[in-house]
Amino acid sequence: MPNLNAIQVKNIKFRYDLRLDHHVLSDVSFVVEKGKWVSIIGENGSGKSTLARLLVGLLPPESGSIFINNQLVDEQSKGQIRKKLGIVFQNPDNQFIGTTVEDDVAFGLENQQLSYEEMHNRVAEALKVVDMYEHRAKDPSQLSGGQKQRVAIAGVLALQPEIMIFDESFVMLDPLSRRELLESLQLIQAQYDLTIISITHDRNEAALADKVIVLEQGKLISEGAPANIFAEEKKLTPPFAEALRRRLATAGVSIPNHYMSEEELVDWLCK
């Protein structure tokens, strides 16, 4: 039976200064199945963003190994592996190159020997997904922070990678825009069997994932389905729906005594 893991992380250790005994990541291991959405959560300094950079080969691990589609990430392979990966960072200004929005989204496609028509279609489709098509002729410097982030996401979507990594990529969006974009990404994920890694502080975003990984001071302390993680890890701030369920229970409302997703809570309240 073929291996269905898009990512395998085995006993990763990393520290920025080899002279110090402080490891940003210590013996971290996990797998991400193909076509799944995995959220990585943890407090500042837990190693989340460092892990993202290790996954795409921007940093080499001190020890341990990372496999992307069963291929070891190392100096020889990382160029080829990056063609399968797309990463969107928190600050979109670091990713702009083009003089217009559509030029910027098209930039990553120019070395793929695509026809003009194919490139044009990919750019248009990606901009429509992030609701920026009407701004395609604008100079990126004229955009708001949230709009710039949408364009950065479109630039990665246009490449049609097998794996997308979002490193706090939605933090600049207002709640409604964030929700709409996440819903669009869920549809794209299902359509293209896309694997998504979402590094986030947003518990509502994490609740949408197939699996949640919890990092604490560089160590993986828990992983599992959102319902299990937020039910068992009481010190974690839960998503809004679960927080509301707990408050209702504390107030004496006869509500089910188990984790509830937003959809489940709405269904229960509407009964």
Q: Are residues 13 and 78 both part of a single domain?
A: yes
In sequence order, the 6+-apart residues with CB closer than 8 A to the CB of 238 are 203, 230, 246, 259
Domain that holds residue 29: 1-84+200-235
Whether residue 1 has pLDDT greater than 50: no
Percent of the chain exceeding pLDDT 90 equals 45
Task: Kindly compute the dihedral angle of the four CA atoms of residues 184, 208, 93, 57, in this order, to the nearest 10 degrees.
Answer: -110
CA 57, CA 77: separation in Å to the nearest integer? 9
Per-residue pLDDT, averaged over 32-48, amounts to 92
Q: Are residues 208 and 264 both part of a single domain?
A: no
Q: Are residues 207 and 261 both part of a single domain?
A: no
Task: State how far the alpha carbon of 17 is from the alpha carbons of 21, 24, 134, 196, 211, in Å.
Answer: 8, 10, 46, 30, 31
- Reported as a single tens digit per residue, the pLDDT across 225-271 is 999 999 888 888 889 999 999 999 999 989 999 898 888 999 998 87
Instruction: State both tokens at 56.
Output: 């795409």
Instruction: State both tokens at 261.
Output: 């997703």
Question: How many domains, in total, are found in the chain?
Answer: 2
Q: What angle do CA 46, 175, 193 make, to 5 degrees?
A: 70
Tell me which of 264 and 4 has the higher pLDDT. Answer: 264
Mean pLDDT of the chain: 88
Whether residue 64 has pLDDT greater than 90: yes
**CATH number for position 30:** 3.40.50.300
- The answer to whether 199 and 52 are in contact (CB under 8 A) is yes
Q: Are residues 212 and 259 both part of a single domain?
A: no
Q: Are residues 206 and 269 both part of a single domain?
A: no
Q: Determine which of 58-67, 169-178, 223-232 has the lowest per-residue pLDDT on average.
A: 169-178
Whether residue 174 has pLDDT greater than 90: no
pLDDT band of 94, cuts 50, 70, 90: low
Read off φ and ψ for residue 268, nearest 5 degrees.
-65, -45
In sequence order, the 6+-apart residues with CB closer than 8 A to the CB of 203 are 41, 230, 236, 237, 238, 239, 240
Percent of the chain exceeding pLDDT 70 equals 97
